[in-house]
Amino acid sequence: MEYRRLGKSGLKVSEIALGSWLTYGTVTERQQSIACVKEAYDQGINHFDCANVYGSEPHAAEVVLGEALAPYDRDSYVLTTKAFWPTGKGPNDKGLSRKHIFTQVEQSLRALNVDYVDIFYCHRFDPETDLEETLRALDDLVSQGKILYAGLSEWQPNQIADGIRLQREFNLHKFAASQPVYNMLNRYIEHAVIPICDDAGIGQVVFSPLAQGVLTGKYRRGQAAPEGSRGATDRVKAFVERQLNDETLSKVERLEGVAKEAGLSLAQLAIAWILRLDSVSSALIGASRPEQVLENVKASGVKLDGDTLDKIEEILA
């Protein structure tokens, strides 16, 4: 496993990180979840991602992840969580108000059974809360030591730029991480998000590097989604089906050929392609079985040559 700086911060994170969206506290049985975390830790992954709304109910995934990480020295891993989405039916049970952020950080710390999280993400932009209020709440939590770094997830370029400007203007702790979707089939961050973040020293921790499993080659044109796959699971089916068209699956078939020539699995090629960018600090994988972790970590340290990158670009274009 190789490690990278999180943007311009001093924090070092593993190139491959383990996420818990749609898995822990939901479709993945508890012991299997713990086994995946153990495999990840044993393989050198030091970066574990969660959120207050992951799981079958608020904080459910955090409880499982906290239990899985309990045997390990707290200083040896980087732990994240997030807030924005509703956690209840009350008027203050959502968003990025000072009240909701403080409430959710406290509840997340209890669920994870830790004293602090390394990175706390604003899970989306909140148009109903003054941005200065949100940023000052994050700054206070950093000063209190309950979060070490602040981050954002899936903000628009102008929203990121406004946040950076206000942090500079009021001398607040800076964002260290951005968590957007990024993969071979979804490259929107290349145009504006990455340049803005690079200039401010914000590292990318990208999710869905395998496009919900589409970039593993398991889905085929004219065939039903394999039993047990995300494309066959009611809870997440819609996320996958939108990409299961002939044009996309044809590209995937051609990419498999490139992967074979490079001596890699398609998943390893897809992750290595993401890590070609210095702007990316970590690629967040999901895993319901330990062997999936073992397969994906092999992408760390892989350097794709120019010929391979050109072939990929031709297919994606």
Question: What is each CA distance from 298 to 263, 264, 293, 301, in whole angstroms?
Answer: 12, 9, 9, 8
Burial class (CB in 10 A: 0-12, 13-18, 19+), 157: middle
- 54 catalytic residue (yes or no): yes
Q: Where do the DSSP E strands lie in 145-295?
A: 147-152, 175-178, 203-206, 280-285
Structure tokens at 250: 């044809």
Active-site hit among 3, 24, 41, 54: 54
Can you give the length of the chain in residues?
Answer: 317
Give how far the C-alpha of residue 139 lies from the chain's centroid of Cα atoms, to the nearest Å: 22
Nearest one of 302, 300, 304, 303 to 13, comparing CA atoms: 300
Q: Hey, is 20 helix, strand or coil?
A: coil
CA distance 197 to 186: 18
> Which residues are registered as beta bridge partners of 13?
4
Nearest one of 282, 254, 278, 255 to 266, comparing CA atoms: 255
Question: What is each CA distance from 3 to 18, 297, 307, 312, in whole angstroms?
Answer: 14, 12, 25, 25
> Quick count: other Cβ atoms within 10 Å of Cβ 299?
23
Nearest one of 53, 62, 64 to 28, comparing CA atoms: 64
- 44 dihedral zone (left: phi>0; alpha: psi -120 to 50; beta): left
Cβ atoms of 85 and 123 within 8 Å: the answer is yes
Question: What is each CA distance from 190 to 158, 226, 270, 293, in whole angstroms?
Answer: 15, 32, 16, 27
Active-site annotation, residues: 54
